[in-house]
Amino acid sequence: MKCVVTGGAGFIGSNLVDRLLSEGNEVVVVDNFSSGKKENCNKNATYFDIDLSNTEKQSAIKDAIKSSEVIFHCAALARVQPSIINPIKYEVNNTLGTINILKCAVDMKVRRIVYSASSSAYGPTKKLPSKESDIANPVSPYANQKYYGELCCKMFSNIYSLETVSLRYFNVFGERQNLGGAYATVVGIFIDQLLSNQQLTINGDGKQRRDFTYVKDVVSANILASKSSLVGKGEIINIGSGKNISINTLAKSLGGSRKYLNPVNEPFANLADIKKAKKLLDWEPTLDILDWINDYKLLNGIK
């Protein structure tokens, strides 16, 4: 099968590219390398350096995706906090990027789009675990844009008969996660601090809890979602571990000393209900974050 991974030079996208190639698929990547990295690129994939939010570039995008069966739309400016600082840049990039690839996919008769959605759509909620039927409450620019992308996918399925499915990821960790800069997540930041002998910095009291999901499990969910005959009409599916741990527990599992900073505006806890993923995709998580951290420490000689 020929497939396209947008954002295929990024953390999740590049793991997906490797897996698709290993399964014998032809893989095309569309990425503008805004946060993607050359070192994540696989020599067996074909790369197109295109900004998906540029609607003037439709013919280049169509050229890249022609005769592909599935598009995995991972491209986005990810992360909540930088979107609060830069709402317009994020809006243009994330909303136009999504509608542009959806329109090009229709024009090029692509069968299905698997969209990387986000658990941030749930916002701050005390009702946990979060189910896909819960009312969305996105409270940041990034969360709004990711949620709007889900609505666009469903609308394109309804109006243009393009098969779509949205996977709401919960805090993804694993190989190639960003260790520094604006795009790093808490696991990457802690590892970076540990490797450079700094204190692990915790926002607030560290009692906030997160559902962490292994990147290779996210990749498997994408592949199952590209094939399942039970989806294709804009379904929303949680991809999480179904368990959550506190940031303090995460920091303790890594070791080293900790420094507590002022709290930031973030949900107190998140936790995925993953029954729908099992039912529609036959997907289940395979690796727990604390086991991954143990392995990571062993591999890197960290005590």
Active site residues: 142
Q: Looking at beta carbons only, is 194 or 218 nearer to ligand NAD?
A: 218
Looking at residue 186, its amino acid is V
How many CA atoms within 13 Å lie on the side-chain side of 28?
20
**167, 217 contact by CB (below 8 A):** no
Q: Is 10 in the site for ligand NAD (CB under 6 A)?
A: yes
C-alpha–C-alpha distance, residues 146 and 153, integer Å: 11
Cβ neighbour number for residue 91 with a 10 Å cutoff: 18
Q: Is 53 in the site for ligand NAD (CB under 6 A)?
A: yes
Q: Looking at beta carbons only, is 97 or 129 nearer to ligand NAD?
A: 97
Q: Is 174 in the site for ligand NAD (CB under 6 A)?
A: no
**48, 68 contact by CB (below 8 A):** no
Among 172, 178, 171, CA closest to 39: 178
Which of 18, 51, 91, 217 binds ligand NAD (CB under 6 A)? It is 51
Which of 78, 102, 104, 179 binds ligand NAD (CB under 6 A)? It is 78
What is the DSSP pairing of strand 70-73 with strand 163-169? Answer: unpaired
Which of 33, 201, 245, 290 binds ligand NAD (CB under 6 A)? It is 33
Helix (H, G, I), strand (E, B) or coil at 270: coil
Which of 3, 5, 12, 254 binds ligand NAD (CB under 6 A)? It is 12
Find the shortest distance in angstroms from Cβ 216 to ligand NAD: 13
Give the contact letters, 141-170, x = binds to ligand NAD (CB under 6 A), - = no: -----x----------------------x-
Q: Looking at beta carbons only, is 25 or 93 nearer to ligand NAD?
A: 93
Q: Is 185 in the site for ligand NAD (CB under 6 A)?
A: yes
Which of 32, 140, 144, 222 binds ligand NAD (CB under 6 A)? It is 32
72-83 in b/e form (b: 16+ CB < 10 A) is bbbbbbbbbebb
Residues in contact with 167: Cβ distance below 8 Å, sequence separation at least 6, in sequence order: 114, 115, 116, 117, 218, 221, 222, 225, 237, 239
Q: Is 36 in the site for ligand NAD (CB under 6 A)?
A: yes
From 4-12, 80-88, 155-163, 279-287, span contacting ligand NAD (CB under 6 A) = 4-12
Interface residues with ligand NAD (CB under 6 A) are 6-7, 9-13, 30-36, 51-53, 74-78, 93, 97, 116, 118, 146, 169, 171-172, 183, 185
